[in-house]
Structure formats: structure tokens, C-alpha cells
Amino acid sequence: MSISFDKSQWALILGGSSGFGLATAKKLASCGMSVCVVHRDRRGAMAAIEPEFKAIQATGVGFQSFNLDALSAEGRKTVLAALATQLGEHGRVKMLMHSVAFGNLKLLAPPKGLGEASAKARTRLAEQLGVSVERLTQAVEACVADADALCDLAPAPAYDTDAMLEEEDFARTVHAMGTSLVSWTQDVLARGLFAPDARVLGMTSEGNEVAWRGYAAVAAAKVALESVSRAMALELAPHGIRANVVQAGVTDTPALRLIPGSAQMKAAARLRNPFARLTTPADVAGVIALLCTDEAHWINGTIVRVDGGEHIAG
């Protein structure tokens, strides 16, 4: 199946300078859809991002990018005003994607006894091999990214224990990675910028069901995102809008690398996945492109898992 879109159809991607957002921007542009990317990056990071944006422009589609705070009302107003001018009379937003990665990874409580079993195992193994525990630990850390069987022997993740998660952290994270999608959707709708058959997509993860240390605020945000997506699927259907959430498998993105213990998470995912590999941003972008096709118009109010069967593998 060859996917093809028209340049008058636009993708508005929140968080589109890396990971899933960037991969989706590149995929949709290659299929003929115009792209508007909203991101927040430091000047030093732009050296790596600009070539990616130029590659999108080289496909010949319409392209706009905004390096500003997508979580502020002023930032949203700036983007939509400029985009409305760019769309003109005939252009419309076919897909609004929320891929904002701005969350707090603080712990709920100080860890106690974390890593004791693996520490004992490393000590015993070091004694058997006749090397120091420090030398063995360095070797395990160097190999764990590739040798998945060593993941249980690796040192415990290093967490920031100076400050615990507070109400403000929860509120900011839930808004940033969850409910902010509603404000964007409402404003695009109010300005009449949505296509007659539009898609609103959010990104979630297995952390919506599985407890990971330091992930409490982000998990709450993901669950909120899923909830508001279902509400939008119901209330916005009369406006021609389909709202869904994509749940990717463990993927090596900049956002994942910020999570303490991400090396162990990746190793465990490779062991568990039926295809013995991680999900890639391109895997996810391909499915998002499919969700934007006319054939996918009856998919609404659901979570679409893109993980190669990772979630069903024990």
C-alpha cells in the first residue's frame, strides 16, 4: 500500500525535533503531507536539528518550524496565527500530534535496599574471577547495552534523592504531557483549521500500566492523556475529528535516555520482544502515517500499540 497525501494537508506536530515527532514529520513529508513542527531546543542543539528540517523541506512539501514554548497560551497563539496564514484558503490541519516530552522524573520516596541483590551477585562473581568489584562493575556497565542477559547483574539505576516529587511537579507534568493536547485541539478547532476528516494523536507508553521508579508523574500524565483522548473521540466526532493514542514499545529516544535505568529497560525489552529488538521511531511513524489515511477513518477512541508484540510477551 502506497501512502500519498496532498500538500494542502498539514501535520501539526508538538515536540517534532527528535524521537517520534521528528520521525513522523519525515515520514509524512515523504508521503506528500506538509509539516509544521513546534519544539523547544537550545541553540546548541539546533546544529543537529537543522539538517533534519532541511531534509523535510527538500521533499517539496510546505514546512514551518517554531522553537518556542508549546505549553504556553502565547506560544500556541503565535503558532496558530502563523499557520493559519500559511494554510490560506485551502490548506487544513489533517493531523495534530502531541509528542511533548517535558516531565518530572523525581522519586515518590527515597529508595531502600535497591540493588542489594545485584551488588551481592557482582561481589561473588568478582571473587570467582579474581578481579575487583569495581573492574567487574565497569565491564558489566560497558556490556549491558548489548549483552541483554547481563541486565540483572548491572548496578542499580542512579536516582536523584535530594528532592522528592511534589504537587507542583505533578501538576506541571500532567499539563505538559497530558492535558495540554486539549488546549491545542480546542484552539485549532475554534480557528476552523482542521480538515473535515482530521486526526488527533497522543503518545503513551507501558508506564501507563507498569510502575517504574521515578515515573509516577509521567505515568499520571500519560493516563490523563489517554482519558482526554477518549473524551475528544466522543465529543469531537461530530466535527470530523478522530482521536487516538499510540503506545510505542521501548524505543531508544532522547526522552527514554533521561529515565534512570534506561539501559536496563532497553536490555529487558530486547529479551522480551518477540522480534528481539527495540521499537524504532520509524516503526511508529509508519503506523501514524497509516492512521492518517482514509482507510483508517473508523479508528477512534482507542490505544494503538506499536511494539512488535512486546506487551503480550511474558
Query: Which of 149-153, 201-205, 267-271 has the highest mean predicted lDDT (pLDDT)?
Result: 201-205
Cβ proximity of 216 and 104 under 8 Å: no
The per-residue pLDDT for 228 is 97
For the cut 70, the answer to whether the pLDDT of residue 214 exceeds it is: yes
Amino acid occupying residue 219: A
Nearest-angstrom CA–CA distance, 185 and 178 = 12
Between 151 and 294, residue with greater pLDDT: 294
The per-residue pLDDT for 130 is 87
Write the DSSP symbol of residue 279.
B
For the cut 60, the answer to whether the pLDDT of residue 42 exceeds it is: yes
Place 269 in a pLDDT band, splitting at 50, 70 and 90: very high
Alpha-carbon 168 to chain mean position: 22
Nearest-angstrom CA–CA distance, 307 and 261 = 20
- 3-class secondary structure per residue, 246-263: EEECCECCHHHHCCCCHH
Nearest-angstrom CA–CA distance, 8 and 93 = 8
First to last CA, the chain: 32
Distances 2 to 59, 222, 288 between C-alpha atoms, Å:
16, 32, 14
Q: Give the chain's domains with CATH numbers.
A: 9-104+167-251+280-312 (3.40.50.720), 116-153 (no CATH)
pLDDT tens digits for 220-263? Answer: 999 999 999 999 999 999 999 999 999 999 999 999 998 888 88
The per-residue pLDDT for 115 is 64
The region that residue 130 occupies, defined by phi over 0 for left and psi between -120 and 50 for alpha, beta otherwise, is left
Region 205-214: mean pLDDT is: 87
Query: Which of 205-214, 263-272, 301-310 has the highest mean predicted lDDT (pLDDT)?
Result: 301-310
| SS3 state at 5 | coil
For the cut 80, the answer to whether the pLDDT of residue 4 exceeds it is: yes
pLDDT tens digits for 133-155? Answer: 788 777 777 776 565 656 666 66
The per-residue pLDDT for 82 is 98
The per-residue pLDDT for 36 is 98
Neighbouring residues of 102: CB distance < 8 A, sequence distance ≥ 6: 40, 71, 173, 176, 177
Distances 42 to 17, 39, 47, 49, 69 between C-alpha atoms, Å:
11, 10, 10, 10, 12
Region 2-29: mean pLDDT is: 97
For the cut 80, the answer to whether the pLDDT of residue 112 exceeds it is: no
Cβ proximity of 132 and 240 under 8 Å: no
The per-residue pLDDT for 279 is 97
The per-residue pLDDT for 198 is 98
The chain-wide mean pLDDT, for the chain, equals 91
Region 302-312: mean pLDDT is: 96
Distances 92 to 23, 27, 86, 192 between C-alpha atoms, Å:
21, 18, 10, 8
**Structure-block grid coordinates of residue 305:** 500499540
Between 216 and 306, residue with greater pLDDT: 306
Q: Is 302 exposed, middle or buried (0-12, 13-18, 19+ CB in 10 A)?
A: middle
- Whole-model pTM: value is 0.87
Range with lowest mean pLDDT among 148-157, 176-185, 253-262, 277-286: 148-157
Between 108 and 302, residue with greater pLDDT: 302
Between 209 and 143, residue with greater pLDDT: 209
**Percent over 70 (pLDDT), the chain:** 94
Q: Which helix (H) or strand (E) holds 12?
A: strand 9-14
Residue 39 has phi, psi (to 5 degrees) of -150, 170
Range with lowest mean pLDDT among 25-34, 143-152, 275-284, 294-303: 143-152
Largest CA distance in the chain: 75
Neighbouring residues of 126: CB distance < 8 A, sequence distance ≥ 6: 132, 133, 135, 136
Between 65 and 120, residue with greater pLDDT: 65
The per-residue pLDDT for 187 is 98
Q: Which is nearest to 121 in space by CA: 135, 142, 136, 111? A: 136
The region that residue 280 occupies, defined by phi over 0 for left and psi between -120 and 50 for alpha, beta otherwise, is beta
pLDDT tens digits for 66-107? Answer: 999 999 999 999 999 999 999 999 999 999 999 998 877 788
